[in-house]
Amino acid sequence: MGTSTGKAERAESPSSPSLSPSRAADFMRCPLLYRFRVIDKLPEKPSSAATRGTVVHAVLERLFDAPAAERTAPRARAMVPGEWERLLKARPELAELFRGEDGAEDPERLGRWLADAERLVEQWFSLEDPTRLEPAERELYVETRLESGLTLRGYIDRVDVAPSGEVRIVDYKTGKAPAPQYAGDALFQMKFYALVLWRLRGAVPRRLQLVYLGSGDVLTYDPGESDLLAVERKVRALWEAIAEATATGVFLPRQTKLCGWCDHQAHCPEFGGTPPPYPLAAHPAPSGRMGRV
């Protein structure tokens, strides 16, 4: 299952300890999925949803290149086909998403997909007013090294800075807002980014904001130092579990409702599959130490 935004991921391994929120989420969701993606590097088919997310994010990023008065919904909608063509030029294999069973191009399928992307872009204008925003950063790559030696890194969609100096971190989601009981998973990513910015700049971001274009919802959270210290402890424990699993080769599968979208069922024991031979040297784990996250 691909990422929703299509942002570039850098290599991660305990020999060069670094962690992004996407890979942290992979391990928490299913340790075996983390192994397949990070260690085995198994290929995954592109998905139309993830590809649409990449195009929508590109539009929302580049719209701010225009003067404030020109940041309109019609202009943003009109940018969608161009951003698709730009992405297709960089990744020609994505054309396969819009071919029929006979292998021929399916213009109607592509047209419906582009229309869906345009609707998501237009939805944004009901949630935020880009004519009143001047982001300090867009698609900001951040990286910091903790005292433990672990490097945390990732890409932030948008950083706003108020005249008072207060910082807001904004992330666009092209799906629907989660049910309240699952909101914590989404906020973990934002708190992760907030922790990185705090360590880099010395100030806790004032607000975290998730903009859900699929359902027209905005989720906000105002973190404190205690929140971010708790995230730092969780991230350290998570990395210890990843390092231990990597050393032993024991990555346990965890079946969830998301398994239906996973590309790796043929290799997963939960579905009768067999993982490929473990490519690293493995060592037995000390008793009682696995799975601490």
Give the ranges where the chain is alpha helix by DSSP (H).
21-29, 31-34, 48-62, 73-90, 107-124, 183-201, 225-248
Would you say residue 69 lies in a domain? yes
What CA–CA distance (Å, rounded) separates 90 from 265? 28
Would you say residue 105 lies in a domain? yes
Q: How many CB atoms are located within 10 Å of the residue 203 CB?
A: 11
Domain boundary among the residues 236, 253, 275 is at 236
Write the pLDDT tens digit of every residue in 133-175: 999 999 999 999 999 899 999 999 999 999 999 999 999 999 9
Would you say residue 225 lies in a domain? yes
Domain count, the chain: 2
Would you say residue 218 lies in a domain? yes
Domain range for 118: 48-129
Would you say residue 34 lies in a domain? no
Torsion of CA 229, 230, 236, 237, to 10 degrees: 160
Domain boundary among the residues 187, 207, 236 is at 236
C-beta of residue 87 within 8 angstroms of C-beta of residue 5: no
Reported pTM = 0.89
| 3-class state of residue 175 by DSSP | coil
Q: Which residue reads 């990286």 in tokens?
A: 143
Would you say residue 182 lies in a domain? yes
Whichever domain contains 221, its CATH number is 3.90.320.10
Write the pLDDT tens digit of every residue in 182-240: 888 889 999 999 999 999 999 999 999 999 999 999 999 999 999 999 999 999 999 99
Domain boundary among the residues 129, 164, 184 is at 129
